[in-house]
Structure 1
Amino acid sequence: MHNIVENTVIEWFTSDTEKRQIERILWVSPSNDVAISIAMEDDKAFPLMKTHSEYIAGLESNLCRVVEWVNGNIPLLDRELDEEYLNLREKSWDAIKGIVLDEPGCFDKSFRGSRVREAQERTGLHKSTIYRYLRRYWQGGKMKNALLPHYNNCGSYGNDRMPGEAKRGRPRKFEEESLGINIDEETKQLLRSGIRLFYNNKNKSPLKHAYQKTLEKFFTTGFRQEGQAIIPILPPTDKLPSFGQYRYWFKKEMDLEDTLKSRHGEKRFALDYRPILGSSTYESFGPGSRFQIDATVADVYLVSEYRREWIIGRPIIYIVIDVFSRYIAGIYIGLEGPSWIGAMMALANTTMDKVQFCAQYGIDIEPEEWVSSHLPQKLTADRGELEGEKPSQLIDVLGVDVENAPPYRADWKGIVEQQFRLVNLRSIQFIPGAIKERYRERGQRDYRLDAKLTLKEFTQIMIRNVLYHNNHHHMLWYDRNEFMVADEVAPVPRDLWHWGIINRNGRLKKQPENIVKLNLMYQGEATVTAAGIQFKGMHYGCELAMREQWFVIARANKTWRVKVCYDPRSTNEIYLWLDEGRQFETCMLLEREERYRNKRIEEVEDLLEIERYQGRHQGSNNMLSKIELDAHTKAIVDAAAKKTEEAIQQSQESSNQRIKGTRQRRSNEKLINREQEVFKLSEQVTSPDSPTSNVVPLKRDGKPETKQTYIPPADKLSKIKAYLLEDGDDDE
């Protein structure tokens, strides 16, 4: 719906011409049937009357449009104006106020003419002067300040003057002082290039050095050689821009933001020089609107829980903190990370019952001392741990919106970063084994040898720090809003948390602890096979699979894939993903996979990769051996085929004749093979002349065996051969 009101600026245009006409609406009749306007860019314009419907039709048919008109000649604040200007404005206003205040009569030509004559007689001004005041008032939006003198149109204020013969600028005190030159557009461009090349760069050169390099590059007239050095030749100093001129144009045209980014880089600019216009407190509506999570390596060395003489290095501290109240919602103190596993442990801790959590470390607390066991609406984190596919379940299932900070932008997580500093100042720097200074002097005692605390004992100290911060830390710098001030809420995280729960509820999310852990674990796909649920080369089983006969179905039909999640620190269990993450089924490693038990997933993957590598290496040797085997086989087959073909041609038997007697020939062949395959325990060969020389008589019931007539193998073979020459019976 188009609406035409007083002071609306309308631009009329047509498609067949580049000319435009801009007019301002001066008055609209109460019945919205008539509108009075004046042309904006006409020095002799007078108010014109048009129908309201004409404007509406023009807007609807795109023959005109409403534009925003800003008149830079009209100041908005009187206190910045000279008294002389104000007096001239009042004189002009006094001449026309009796005319312009009489609306709509002043828009009638005859009425306006008579009132202008009256003003002439009263003020003594010329008629054209009064009409000029009227146009300036109407074209300026019917504002008194439109009658101010337009002195800014005089001279060349804000514009660069064209260089001439005379030297511009302040005269020098001494004649021998360098005057410089008049800076024209070409010289100005050379100075800009010099600033861009030699000042706005990562070298961070001083401006004086940039000026010198600019003269060497752009104002050199030649070169001379002295030995190995090539020295640029510059014109006399009165033909060169002075350093003062160089500095003047640098300051006049300098884009400070661009200069800082060029010299320090985008990341350093964002961290140290960007405008600080907001506050983290106002980024969150209430408790749970936004949590921040971050990790740091603690500045203290610990000893082993099992062998206190062993130094195990520095622990990792993860903190999850509520932005609105500064309430610490979860922590993780361990040796994992900074990584997704460490972040996973810290996020799982935000949903734990803190009474049970503290009891694990021998600390008894009341529920109100650490009440948070929720997930947030938004989570601000580093790009490392919470980037990629791993945290997708935070968004998809748990409903947590993950926001990753840009690289090197610790200020995006300033609240949690501040906690690391406070924890170090409160406790860590006083613990044995703490890092006092980053670099030790020669001969100074190694602070690592002072380590006394185990990981569990250090965690106890960190829990005590959290309890102190949440319940007693008075934040004088916290910006309480007007409602907090009215309710006399102390700037203590616990009080701010409870006030926010009552007055700004609806941001915290409650999920069962097991479901949260399930969705925080690593995710993957396993294959249901007849041998079990196969995952990363290992096989698992579960009651659900046995009850629903998954392995029988897989063997009878085909395999299929299922979604699982797992903790990479243990191979003993994986978890089937059921009902889109709302339920799960535990799968145990099968007994036959004993070699994988109590290992990390990475260790198993390394083992399987090594075995695959060895298999690939052996495969190449197998291929070479198979090629050799095929070559020998082919040679034997070719020789046998040749001999067989020759024998067939010599025998001249038909195919039917060759098939006959196969059974009898097989028996005869078997008999011959038996003689050749018989076991012979003695290497001495029996001679035909002494057939019984190697026969050992066996006694049965104390009596020697009866001698049997020995038939030499040669005689048997001769008989068989003679038989083979005869026609045998048909096999059938």
Structure 2
Amino acid sequence: MQALLKNDVFDGNDGCQYRVVKTSSPNTGWVINLSRAHSWPVERDFGVLRSHSRVATQSTACAKLPDFAFYSEKARNRANAAYEVIKPLILNADGSENDDILDERKRNRLVLARADELDISKTTIYGYLHKWWSQGQSKYVLIPGSARNGQNQTSGTSGRGRMPGDGRYSVFQMGAEDIKRAKEFLEKRYIKKEHASLKGVHIDLIAKHYSFRDGNGDLVKRPEGEHPSIHQLRHVLKTLFTPEDVKRGKKGDKNFDRENKPMTGSSLEEAVAPGHIYELDATIFDTFLVAEANRHHIIGKPTLYLIYDRKTRLIVGFYLGLENASWTGAMLAILSLAEDKRALCEKYGHPYDPAHWPADGVFPAKFLGDRGEMASRNSDRICDGMEATISNTQSLLPITKGVVEAGFHAAHCAIKDMAPGYEPPMEAVKRRAKKYHLDAALTLEECTSLILGQIIKHNTTAMENYPLSPAQVLAGWNAIPTQLWKQELELNGCAGANYTYDYLHLQLLPRTTDDPKSKKAKVTQQGIEFENCIYKSVDDDPTVRQWMVNAGMGKSPEVHCSYDLRLVDNIIVHDSKGRTFPCTLAKDSGRFSGYSFAEVEYIIVKERRAKKLLEDKTNQAEMSRRQRAQAITTRAIAATKQAATSAARSARKADTAAERDAEKSRLRRLQTSMPPTNSESKRVGNVIALHSSDHVEGCAHQQPKIPVEDAAERPRSTIDDLLRRKAQEKTNELTHL
């Protein structure tokens, strides 16, 4: 049970409310009953009084009322005079509390002595003491009641208001019920609705509560003076609601916080050193691009990722690509932290200087995102592999990561004057605006080069409005990100860690997990099956080969794999022992080479849908085949029955060999033919004459001879080449084994 302190208010078991005047021990003390008008302090056991009731600390009068200093000088002087009257009674000479005044047997004697000393009435002193103990033992409670009149009073018209000039009606006096109705209407129909007007709410209020129906059933409002005016409704709005309440209710909390919330504090307060917090975010870069292969084709706007070090404002990583904002883009931006900066600058035509990249390879202690890519399941790879922390700000509140948001603005401003195809954001939704996309001329690589130039310029030039401390200014520091990183590193150290590009790449790739919702990899006899594709080991690893053998015997091992969402050609398989095996597409899945996983899934869905659409036609063909087959079998059974003899059924196999030879001889006579001579071929064209059985009966097993000259001139077909390659591959495999 919570311990009670002086001035705490609590509910007793007897239904009364008590205030603690003084504590004698953790379980006992002096209390005064607030539920009875003329009660005085008594010493009671707290446990007996309150049992398991909760302390109502918010009911303390001093916690609700304004500060003592805000009252008039006259009111404060009267409160000080009242305090001086009771001060010798409640305090000893050394400043400690006087317990005798709490004892009712000694209280009357002390009060009478003080009344005689000051020549005032003892009733006045008792009144001061009762206020002191019951209302919170503060000078404020001794202020005369007239000084506090109206401060906590329910607002109403109370006879106020401008009378009409022509005296047509009296001012309507709003009571507590009228104010309650007006407040409910304002809350539900004005504050919570963005486009509601006060005039409309006033009309609705009158129609609901200040109208009647006439004999025809029509709704008629009461005359002026019998309902609140719009000015009175506006007075209730201003009295009971603050401008923030109205604006927040109409716009919503998130929009209000983004646009109207007071800006306090600084982003530098949380960052303690370089590499501590990296802010990461993505935006649509407002420039239309063209295809590299054919500049006539427009490919739309790219997505720009930026990574800023919060402490020094240094841009430590970036990525510009055609992917939508997703984990793939965020992964590539994070990979740029450890990317070879020399190769990067050479690729995009910028001079390389190591001083421009002081944070090369430094991974932060904390990533700050905005509930987008950094809130996905794949972002767990950062926490598991690099032991970093991921923090996400409130959605729709860009001010919480203002460093990177300002970086986007700077990047747009740097190229908007020179980049063809740049579309100002305000023009994107403007009617009949200029068609900026028709001016597009930059490829993705050229636009990346422009962004890289802006990053180098930002990192090496002084920033405006960066809050250097007086000590830094006196030490000669400049607000240049590269210099700030170096100097802060020497002063406070670095909170980040170094990782290689290959390690980062492997750790950041999406990976299958044991999560039921995660994608699965499965070992089969044909290879590693993953996302409708079959993979085989790049080096024909014996371990993977043995997995496939075991899978054929029903003993498939459990494996996971890392994959790149952009390309299905390769994956990396992980076993339970932590080993990795690079795998590539098998020949069975070679048709998907060059596609992304999303594209493969789309192709499979389209393929299945096409088969589904042809299912009726296939079923119809199968039904027709079965009908024809049934007719054939029916005729065969009938003919067999007709040819039956009186011999036993088992005797049908007695002469099988002889009958088989006779059937073969009959078929040879029907199927065998000889090629025509050259003269006959020229005479009849491509028609081959059939010879009678008398001429070929003895040589039906011989193959017709083709002249050597004709055989040499016959062109080789594609099927011949394919068969020759297959035979050579079989020979090579036997030789290898």
Q: Please indicate the TM-score interval, normalised by the length of the shorter structure.
A: 0.7 to 0.9
1:571 aligns to what SS in structure 2?
strand
Q: Give the drift of 1:232.
A: 6.1
Letter in 2 for 1:595: R
Once the two structures are superposed, residues 4-50 of structure 1 have per-residue CA deviations (whole angstroms, 9 ceiling, x without a partner) of: 77x36475744xxx43362524364xxx6997624242555455457
The answer to whether 1:254 aligns with 2:245 is no
In the alignment, which residue of structure 2 is the partner of 1:317? 304
Structure 1 residues 575, 132: closer, same or farther in 2, change over 3 A? same
User: Structure 2 counterpart of 1:663, which letter?
Assistant: A
- Asked if 1 retains the 8 angstrom alpha-carbon contact of 2:331 and 2:508, the reply is yes
* SS, match of residue 39 in structure 1: strand
1:397-433: CA deviation from partner (whole Å, max 9, x where unpaired): 3434444455544334332121111122234323344
User: Are 1:346 and 2:346 counterparts?
Assistant: no
Give the drift of 1:349: 0.8
Deviations, residues 254-300 of structure 1 (Å, cap 9, x unaligned): 36455334533454333223444444333444434432222233333
Q: CA RMSD for the aligned pairs?
A: 4.5
Provide the residue aligned with 2:357 in structure 1: 370
Of 258-267 and 418-427, more deviation after overlay is shown by 258-267
Aligned partner of 1:241: which letter?
Answer: P
Uncovered stretches (5+) of structure 1, i.e. residues with no partner: 683-691, 701-732
How big is each residue's C-alpha offset from its partner over 1:69-106, in whole Å with a ceiling of 9 and x where there is no partner?
62249967443232332332333333333333233454
Pick aligned residue for 1:124 from 103, 119, 122:
119
**Out of 496, 515, 524, which is 2:503 matched to?**
515
**Secondary structure of residue in 1 paired with 2:670:** coil
Distance 1:643 1:153 in 2: 120
- Residues 110 and 487 (structure 1), Cα distance of their counterparts in 2 relative to 1, 3 Å cut: farther
The CA distance in 2 between the partners of 1:414 and 1:453, in whole Å, is 29
Aligned position for 1:530? 525
Q: Is residue 2:173 matched to residue 1:182?
A: yes
Q: TM-score, normalised by structure 1?
A: 0.76
Letter in 2 for 1:151: S
Q: Hey, what's the Cα distance between the residues in 2 that align with 1:142 and 1:442?
A: 68
- Partners of 2:495 and 2:698 lie apart in 1 by 103
C-alpha distance in 2, partners of 1:621/1:696?
48
- Cα deviation, 1:655-713, whole Å, max 9, x if unaligned, reads xx54357323663475367447632679xxxxxxxxx998449999xxxxxxxxxxxxx
Residue 597 to residue 58, structure 1, CA distance change in 2 (3 Å) = same
Larger CA Rg, structure 1 vs 2: 1
Amino acid at match of 1:536: E
- The answer to whether the 8 Å contact 2:154/2:176 transfers is no
Structure 1 Cα separation of the partners of residues 510 and 176 of structure 2: 64
SS at match of 2:387: coil
**SS in structure 1 of the partner of residue 61 of structure 2:** coil
**Number of matched pairs:** 665
Unaligned runs of 5+ in 2: 93-97, 512-518, 674-690, 700-737
2:403 is the counterpart of 1:415? yes
Instruction: Give the Cα–Cα distance (whole angstroms) in 2 for the partners of residues 322 and 64 of structure 1.
Output: 51
Please say if residues 287 and 500 of structure 1, whose CA atoms lie closer than 8 Å, have aligned partners that are also in contact.
yes
Rounded to whole Å, the distance in 1 between the matches of 2:138 and 2:242 is: 36
Distance in 2 (alpha carbons) for counterparts of 1:73 and 1:391:
46
Of the three residues 585, 592, 617, the one matched with 1:589 is 585
2:30, 2:119 → 1: CA distance? Answer: 29
Corresponding position of 2:460:
471
- 2:730 counterpart residue number: none
SS in structure 2 of the partner of residue 181 of structure 1? coil
1:204 equivalent to 2:195? Answer: yes
Q: Offset of 1:320 from its aligned partner? A: 1.1
Shift of 1:463: 2.0
**Cα 1:90–1:660 shift into 2, 3 Å:** closer
Distance 1:4 1:668, change over 3 A: closer
Q: Structure 1 counterpart of 2:561, which letter?
A: V
Q: How far off is 1:602 after superposition?
A: 4.0
SS at match of 2:195: coil
1:95 pairs with 2:85: yes
Separation in 1, partners of 2:124, 2:317: 77
Change (3 A) 1:262 1:85: closer
> Do structure 1's residue 381 and structure 2's residue 378 form an aligned pair?
no
CA distance in 1, matches of 2:210, 2:139: 53
- Percent identity, aligned pairs only, is 23
1:663 corresponds to which of 641, 651, 654 = 654
Paired residues of 2:274 and 2:488 also in contact (CA < 8 A): yes
- What is residue 20 of structure 1 aligned with on the other side? 16
TM-superposed CA distance for 1:329, in Å, is 1.6
* 2:76 alignment counterpart: 86
Shift of 1:114: 4.1
Tell me how far apart the structure 1 counterparts of residues 611 and 164 of structure 2 sit (CA, whole Å).
90
- Cα deviation, 1:577-617, whole Å, max 9, x if unaligned, reads 3679x864322334565433334444444444444344444
One-letter amino acid of the counterpart of residue 99, structure 1: L
What is the CA–CA distance in structure 2 between the aligned matches of 1:92 and 1:128, rounded to whole Å? 13
2:33–2:41 Cα contact (<8 Å) kept: no
In structure 2, distance between residues paired with 1:432 and 1:382: 31
